[in-house]
Amino acid sequence: MRERISEWKHLLPDGTGDVVVLAVQVLVVLILVGWAYNRGFRQAERGPLVRLPLLVLALGVALLVRHIQSELWQPIVIAGSVIIAGLFNRTGDGRGMGIPMVMIAALFGLGYMLSAITLTVVTVLVYMLSPVKKR
Protein backbone atom coordinates (compact mmCIF):
# COMPACT_ATOMS: atom_id res chain seq x y z
CA MET A 1 0.00 0.00 0.00
CA ARG A 2 2.81 2.41 0.84
CA GLU A 3 4.39 1.78 -2.52
CA ARG A 4 1.20 2.80 -4.28
CA ILE A 5 0.91 5.97 -2.25
CA SER A 6 4.54 6.91 -2.90
CA GLU A 7 3.98 6.38 -6.65
CA TRP A 8 1.26 9.06 -6.75
CA LYS A 9 2.57 11.39 -4.05
CA HIS A 10 4.74 13.38 -6.46
CA LEU A 11 1.59 14.61 -8.23
CA LEU A 12 0.44 16.60 -5.18
CA PRO A 13 2.04 19.98 -4.54
CA ASP A 14 3.98 20.55 -1.35
CA GLY A 15 1.80 21.47 1.61
CA THR A 16 -1.31 19.65 0.38
CA GLY A 17 -1.35 17.47 3.47
CA ASP A 18 -1.39 20.54 5.71
CA VAL A 19 -4.34 21.99 3.80
CA VAL A 20 -6.25 18.71 4.04
CA VAL A 21 -5.61 18.48 7.80
CA LEU A 22 -6.71 22.10 8.25
CA ALA A 23 -9.88 21.46 6.22
CA VAL A 24 -10.70 18.38 8.31
CA GLN A 25 -10.14 20.34 11.54
CA VAL A 26 -12.46 23.14 10.43
CA LEU A 27 -15.07 20.63 9.22
CA VAL A 28 -15.05 18.68 12.50
CA VAL A 29 -15.38 21.87 14.54
CA LEU A 30 -18.20 23.08 12.30
CA ILE A 31 -20.04 19.78 12.77
CA LEU A 32 -19.64 19.94 16.57
CA VAL A 33 -20.72 23.56 16.84
CA GLY A 34 -23.58 23.00 14.36
CA TRP A 35 -24.82 20.05 16.37
CA ALA A 36 -24.75 22.02 19.62
CA TYR A 37 -26.39 24.99 17.95
CA ASN A 38 -29.26 22.97 16.43
CA ARG A 39 -29.86 20.95 19.58
CA GLY A 40 -32.44 23.29 21.11
CA PHE A 41 -34.56 23.83 18.02
CA ARG A 42 -37.52 21.80 16.87
CA GLN A 43 -36.97 19.51 13.91
CA ALA A 44 -38.63 21.93 11.48
CA GLU A 45 -36.49 24.87 12.66
CA ARG A 46 -33.13 23.12 12.57
CA GLY A 47 -30.64 24.04 9.92
CA PRO A 48 -27.97 21.85 8.38
CA LEU A 49 -25.01 20.82 10.50
CA VAL A 50 -22.52 22.03 7.92
CA ARG A 51 -23.39 25.33 6.30
CA LEU A 52 -21.38 25.55 3.09
CA PRO A 53 -20.87 29.36 3.01
CA LEU A 54 -19.64 29.26 6.59
CA LEU A 55 -17.30 26.35 5.83
CA VAL A 56 -15.86 28.18 2.84
CA LEU A 57 -15.42 31.40 4.82
CA ALA A 58 -13.81 29.65 7.80
CA LEU A 59 -11.44 27.60 5.65
CA GLY A 60 -10.55 30.67 3.59
CA VAL A 61 -9.74 32.65 6.73
CA ALA A 62 -7.62 29.82 8.12
CA LEU A 63 -5.67 29.48 4.87
CA LEU A 64 -5.25 33.24 4.42
CA VAL A 65 -4.05 33.77 7.98
CA ARG A 66 -1.66 30.84 7.60
CA HIS A 67 -0.31 32.29 4.34
CA ILE A 68 0.16 35.87 5.54
CA GLN A 69 3.20 36.23 7.77
CA SER A 70 2.91 39.95 8.49
CA GLU A 71 2.00 40.81 12.07
CA LEU A 72 0.17 43.86 10.77
CA TRP A 73 -2.03 42.17 8.17
CA GLN A 74 -3.04 39.10 10.15
CA PRO A 75 -5.22 41.04 12.64
CA ILE A 76 -6.66 43.12 9.80
CA VAL A 77 -7.67 39.97 7.91
CA ILE A 78 -9.16 38.43 11.06
CA ALA A 79 -11.12 41.61 11.88
CA GLY A 80 -12.42 41.86 8.33
CA SER A 81 -13.49 38.23 8.30
CA VAL A 82 -15.31 38.64 11.64
CA ILE A 83 -17.18 41.61 10.14
CA ILE A 84 -18.08 39.55 7.06
CA ALA A 85 -19.26 36.69 9.29
CA GLY A 86 -21.41 39.16 11.21
CA LEU A 87 -22.95 40.28 7.93
CA PHE A 88 -23.65 36.63 7.05
CA ASN A 89 -25.46 36.30 10.38
CA ARG A 90 -27.61 39.38 9.72
CA THR A 91 -28.72 38.33 6.24
CA GLY A 92 -30.23 35.07 7.50
CA ASP A 93 -32.93 34.62 10.05
CA GLY A 94 -30.83 36.00 12.88
CA ARG A 95 -29.51 32.61 13.87
CA GLY A 96 -25.89 32.19 13.10
CA MET A 97 -22.66 30.76 14.32
CA GLY A 98 -20.41 32.61 11.93
CA ILE A 99 -18.43 34.76 14.34
CA PRO A 100 -17.28 31.93 16.66
CA MET A 101 -16.45 29.73 13.66
CA VAL A 102 -14.34 32.43 12.02
CA MET A 103 -12.49 33.05 15.27
CA ILE A 104 -11.83 29.31 15.71
CA ALA A 105 -10.66 29.04 12.09
CA ALA A 106 -8.33 32.01 12.57
CA LEU A 107 -6.82 30.31 15.62
CA PHE A 108 -6.32 27.12 13.58
CA GLY A 109 -4.67 29.17 10.84
CA LEU A 110 -2.31 30.80 13.34
CA GLY A 111 -1.40 27.39 14.73
CA TYR A 112 -2.91 27.94 18.19
CA MET A 113 -4.49 24.51 18.50
CA LEU A 114 -5.09 24.57 22.25
CA SER A 115 -6.76 27.97 22.04
CA ALA A 116 -8.93 26.79 19.13
CA ILE A 117 -9.97 23.66 21.02
CA THR A 118 -10.74 25.71 24.13
CA LEU A 119 -12.84 28.19 22.15
CA THR A 120 -14.64 25.26 20.50
CA VAL A 121 -15.49 23.70 23.86
CA VAL A 122 -16.70 27.04 25.23
CA THR A 123 -18.81 27.67 22.10
CA VAL A 124 -20.37 24.21 22.28
CA LEU A 125 -21.16 24.66 25.98
CA VAL A 126 -22.68 28.10 25.40
CA TYR A 127 -24.89 26.82 22.59
CA MET A 128 -25.95 23.78 24.59
CA LEU A 129 -26.78 25.73 27.74
CA SER A 130 -28.34 28.86 26.28
CA PRO A 131 -32.06 29.01 25.55
CA VAL A 132 -33.04 29.11 21.90
CA LYS A 133 -34.72 32.53 22.11
CA LYS A 134 -31.42 34.17 23.14
CA ARG A 135 -29.53 33.01 20.05
pLDDT tens per residue, range 107-127: 999 999 999 999 999 999 998
Domain boundaries, the chain: 18-130
Side chain identity at residue 98, one-letter code: G
Determine how many CB atoms are found less than 10 A away from the CB of residue 41: 13
Length of the chain: 135
CB 127 within 8 A of CB 135: yes
| CB contact burial 3-12 (16+ within 10 A = b; e otherwise) | eeeeeeeeee
Task: Dump pLDDT digits (tens) for 20-77.
Answer: 899 999 999 999 998 988 887 888 777 788 888 889 989 999 999 999 988 899 999 9
